[in-house]
């Protein structure tokens, strides 16, 4: 049966009944169609306000801003952790705003990766973002082991997706820690976290996930699923700004464990200024902080998380799925015959927040899109990532993006550009 043609009137009707439509006005987006919020989210007016609050606290209170400001800096990381916890299905004490994905991976592997006997290996995947692999190799080398032997990378059949059953087949008593992405950064595949965690625990494996491409786009139930630890950045779907401070989760059953990499802010807050050379770690995820918090890179997240609290992560997920479904349907309707292939899973339960569009001329097409005031994302060698963000993308925006892409292909506008990535892609 032929699907009915999607018209502009259809998408306008969707916008009229969209409960999240008012949030679009909260973000600065005037000159372009922004499809790259899975790399860097847009600035919201709330984030601007909470950053201004911390700047004013510095201006007014100087060092007193640590405890006397409108938003005291000394407790900011814990407050942000508590605001983040509902997005990942965690308890407030299990979450802390700190570090970056890479530094937090190092912290948590230093804490949980203790190779001994035959249990010496880390289970990862061949499609993971390079920085995660670099960190895992580094930790293996730190223990005097060879990454070629002790880092197991699950293979992909198609170069875009992973099979949970294949991941599980790689599990055995040799694996000490598993660390996988929740959503694959190129294809947007959402892994079955609960299934993987349950299977890994049957083998006594510590389970960690990198939530970079899922936090803020979809709900999680990490505590319920028994995930041991997780890390994430906040500048993508959480809209904290470039270089925004990351976060980590440690399951309550591990709280009280000494951090592998200890620092001044690992301390119990009541004892921190005793200046003792003996660390008393916090009884919360705060123990896994290392150095002084980056206040001005954390403050915008407070405003952004207010928006998540108001919108609700379930409602955000529902709209995100509708946006990516519309985008895929329009690609089939308007771009058939132009050499495009959808590389992400088509079913809702296995799809994150972006569409993976595969094309041999992906790099040059991305450059042509930018010339048409559309901001996409290119991933080598042949992927165009398009991320319609529930907060600030309308259904009509998606319609316009596909029609402009069709115009590019019809008129071969991509041919004026070299089909190679820029320095940053």
Structure confidence by residue, pLDDT tens digits, 124-136: 999 999 999 999 9
What's the CA angle centered on 300, arms 294 and 303, to 5 degrees?
Answer: 140
**Token pair for residue 16?**
């009229």
Residue whose entry in the numeric block shows the structure tokens 């055995």:
172
Closest CA relative to residue 309, chosen from 216, 394, 212: 216
Residue 361 pLDDT greater than 70, yes or no: yes
Q: Is residue 416 part of a domain?
A: no
Closest CA relative to residue 107, chosen from 268, 285, 261: 261
Tell me: is residue 4 an annotated ligand-binding position: no
Closest CA relative to residue 395, chosen from 5, 58, 21, 39: 21
Residues 257 and 333 occupy one common structural domain = no
Domain count across the chain:
2
Q: What is the pLDDT of residues 101-156, one digit of tens each?
A: 999 999 999 999 999 999 999 999 999 999 999 999 999 999 999 999 999 999 99
Residue 3 pLDDT greater than 80, yes or no: no
Residues 14 and 155 occupy one common structural domain = no
Tell me: is residue 129 an annotated ligand-binding position: yes
pLDDT grade, residue 352 (50/70/90)? very high
Contact between 376 and 362 under an 8 Å Cβ cutoff? The reply is no
Residue 424 pLDDT greater than 70, yes or no: no
Residue 330 pLDDT greater than 80, yes or no: yes
Contact between 218 and 352 under an 8 Å Cβ cutoff? The reply is yes
Residue 280 pLDDT greater than 90, yes or no: yes
Tell me: is residue 270 an annotated ligand-binding position: no
Q: What share of the chain is helix, strand, coil (3-state, %, to 5)?
A: 45, 15, 40
Residues 327 and 289 occupy one common structural domain = no
Contact between 50 and 76 under an 8 Å Cβ cutoff? The reply is no
pLDDT grade, residue 420 (50/70/90)? confident
Closest CA relative to residue 316, chosen from 416, 212, 244, 387: 387
Residues 306 and 320 occupy one common structural domain = no
Residues above pLDDT 70, as percent of the chain: 99
pTM of the predicted protein model: 0.96
Indicate the residue among 283, 310, 337 that finishes a domain. 310
Indicate the residue among 257, 284, 310 that finishes a domain. 310
Tell me: is residue 210 an annotated ligand-binding position: yes
pLDDT grade, residue 269 (50/70/90)? confident
- H or E element at residue 404: helix 395-410
Q: What is the CATH number of the domain that holds 316?
A: 3.90.1150.10
Tell me: is residue 105 an annotated ligand-binding position: no
Residues 274 and 356 occupy one common structural domain = no
Write the CB contacts of 116 (distance below 8 Å, at least 6 apart in sequence): none
Residues 400 and 289 occupy one common structural domain = no
Residue 162 pLDDT greater than 90, yes or no: yes
Please report the pLDDT score of residue 272 as a whole number. 86
Please report the pLDDT score of residue 421 as a whole number. 80
Tell me: is residue 112 an annotated ligand-binding position: no
Contact between 292 and 264 under an 8 Å Cβ cutoff? The reply is yes
Domain residues for 79? 49-310
Residue 249 pLDDT greater than 60, yes or no: yes
**Token pair for residue 210?**
């990198």
Please report the pLDDT score of residue 29 as a whole number. 87
- 3-class DSSP state for residue 334? helix
Indicate the residue among 277, 310, 343 that finishes a domain. 310
Tell me: is residue 376 an annotated ligand-binding position: no
Tell me: is residue 388 an annotated ligand-binding position: no
pLDDT grade, residue 422 (50/70/90)? confident
Please report the pLDDT score of residue 176 as a whole number. 98
pLDDT grade, residue 2 (50/70/90)? low
The backbone torsions φ and ψ at residue 389, rounded to the nearest 5 degrees and listed phi first, read -90, 130
Residues 280 and 336 occupy one common structural domain = no
Other beta carbons less than 10 A from residue 154's beta carbon? 21
pLDDT grade, residue 72 (50/70/90)? very high
Tell me: is residue 101 an annotated ligand-binding position: yes
CA torsion, ordered 193, 316, 301, 303, to nearest 10 deg: -160
Answer with the residue of higher pLDDT: 264 or 299.
Answer: 299
Q: Is residue 391 part of a domain?
A: yes
Residues 102 and 221 occupy one common structural domain = yes
């Amino acid at each position: 049966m032929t699907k009915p043609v999607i018209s502009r009137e259809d998408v306008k009707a969707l916008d009229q009944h969209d409960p999240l439509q008012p949030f679009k006005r909260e973000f600065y987006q005037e000159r372009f169609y922004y499809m790259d919020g899975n790399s860097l989210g847009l600035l919201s007016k709330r984030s601007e306000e909470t950053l201004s609050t911390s700047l004013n606290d510095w201006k007014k209170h100087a060092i007193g801003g640590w405890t006397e400001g409108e938003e005291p800096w000394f407790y900011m990381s814990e407050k942000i952790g508590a605001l983040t916890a509902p997005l990942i299905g965690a308890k407030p004490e299990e979450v802390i705003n700190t570090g970056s994905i890479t530094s937090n991976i190092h912290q948590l592997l230093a804490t949980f990766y203790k190779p001994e006997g035959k249990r010496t290996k880390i289970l990862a995947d061949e499609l993971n973002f390079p920085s995660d692999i670099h960190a895992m190799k580094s930790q293996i080398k730190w223990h005097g082991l060879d990454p070629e032997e002790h880092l197991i990378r699950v293979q992909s059949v198609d170069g875009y997706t992973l099979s949970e059953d294949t991941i599980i087949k790689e599990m055995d008593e040799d694996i000490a820690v598993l660390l996988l992405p929740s959503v694959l950064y190129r294809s947007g595949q959402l892994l079955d976290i609960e299934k993987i965690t349950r299977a890994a625990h049957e083998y006594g494996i510590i389970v960690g996930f990198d939530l970079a491409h899922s936090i803020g786009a979809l709900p999680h139930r990490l505590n319920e699923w028994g995930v041991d630890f997780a890390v994430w950045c906040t500048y993508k779907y959480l809209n904290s700004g470039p270089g925004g401070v990351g976060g980590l989760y440690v399951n309550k059953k591990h709280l009280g464990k000494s951090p592998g990499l200890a620092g001044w802010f690992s301390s119990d807050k009541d004892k921190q200024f005793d200046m003792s050379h003996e660390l008393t770690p916090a009884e919360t995820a705060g123990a896994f902080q290392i150095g002084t918090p980056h206040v001005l890179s954390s403050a915008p997240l407070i405003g952004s998380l207010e928006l998540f609290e108001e919108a609700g992560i379930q409602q955000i997920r529902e709209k995100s799925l509708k946006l990516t479904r519309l985008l895929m349907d329009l690609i089939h309707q308007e771009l058939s015959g132009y050499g495009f292939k959808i590389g992400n899973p088509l079913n809702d339960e296995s799809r994150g927040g972006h569409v993976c569009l595969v094309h041999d001329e992906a790099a040059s097409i991305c450059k042509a899109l930018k010339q048409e005031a559309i901001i996409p994302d290119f991933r080598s060698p042949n992927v165009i990532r398009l991320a319609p963000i529930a907060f600030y993308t309308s259904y009509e925006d998606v319609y316009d993006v596909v029609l402009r892409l069709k115009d590019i292909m019809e008129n071969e506008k991509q041919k004026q550009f070299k089909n190679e990535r820029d320095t940053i892609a």
